[in-house]
């Protein structure tokens, strides 16, 4: 039991230091510009060595995007929790409410982060890379909702990728609105735009 407590205590302490370093880095990036701030400057501002900073983050980009690391798993867990009778597209949309809820809890912080990412090509590229890593998580969660997971793997991957594209577009629109629009509403609109509505009619049977 004592070992478990010590392990949890170390994990909490590490998370606290990581969060502090990320905040110091973010404040500097906002003030001086992401490209102009070096890792050495972030470390100095945080009162730690460069090596200490690099024990927590591999790159400057990771210091900004650390909050996104667990998000893919959170969305996947929300997807698994959706009712079994719900179609995959609806379940994906509802699972992304976890992201919309984060934005509603801290709109100012979310907007500041989104602006910095949108204005910084290196951050935008790194975020897209992270979101690509979310795809298999969502595919596995979707596969658990169907008995034909193996045969439908490509279809599930396309759905997961499309859902994440909808998320990216919705966040871009939300950022452009300065947070005035609701991210959930924007997600609804993005998902609706990809919903296929077609009359099941044989072209050859059309009235002459």
Task: Summarize pLDDT for 123-179 with one digit per residue, the tens.
Answer: 999 999 988 899 999 999 999 887 544 548 889 999 999 999 999 999 999 999 999
Q: Just give the CATH number of 2-60.
A: 1.10.10.60
Residue extents of the structural domains in the chain:
2-60, 70-193
CATH topology (fold) of 70-193: Tetracycline Repressor; domain 2 (1.10.357)
Q: How many residues does the chain have?
A: 208
pLDDT (tens digit per residue) in 96-110? 999 999 999 999 999
Which whole-number Å values give the CA distances from 49 to 39, 43, 66, 203, in the listed order? Answer: 10, 6, 19, 70
């Amino acid at each position: 039991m004592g070992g478990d407590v010590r392990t949890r205590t170390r994990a909490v302490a590490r998370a606290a230091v990581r969060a502090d370093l990320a905040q110091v880095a973010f404040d500097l990036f906002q003030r001086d510009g992401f490209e102009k701030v070096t890792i050495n400057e972030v470390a100095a501002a945080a009162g730690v060595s460069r090596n200490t900073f690099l024990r927590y983050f591999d790159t400057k980009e990771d210091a900004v995007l650390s909050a996104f690391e667990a998000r893919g798993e959170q969305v996947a867990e929300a997807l698994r929790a959706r009712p079994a009778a719900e179609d995959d597209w609806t379940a994906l949309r509802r699972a992304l409410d976890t992201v919309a809820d984060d934005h509603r809890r801290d709109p100012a912080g979310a907007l500041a982060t989104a602006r910095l990412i949108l204005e910084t090509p290196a951050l935008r590229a790194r975020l897209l890379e992270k979101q690509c890593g979310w795809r298999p998580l969502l595919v596995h969660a979707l596969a658990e909702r169907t008995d034909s997971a193996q045969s439908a793997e490509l279809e599930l991957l396309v759905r997961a990728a499309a859902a994440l594209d909808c998320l990216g577009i919705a966040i871009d629109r939300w950022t452009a609105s300065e947070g005035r629009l609701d991210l959930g509403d924007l997600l609804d609109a993005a998902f609706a735009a990809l919903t296929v509505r077609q009359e099941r009619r044989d072209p050859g049977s059309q009235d002459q």
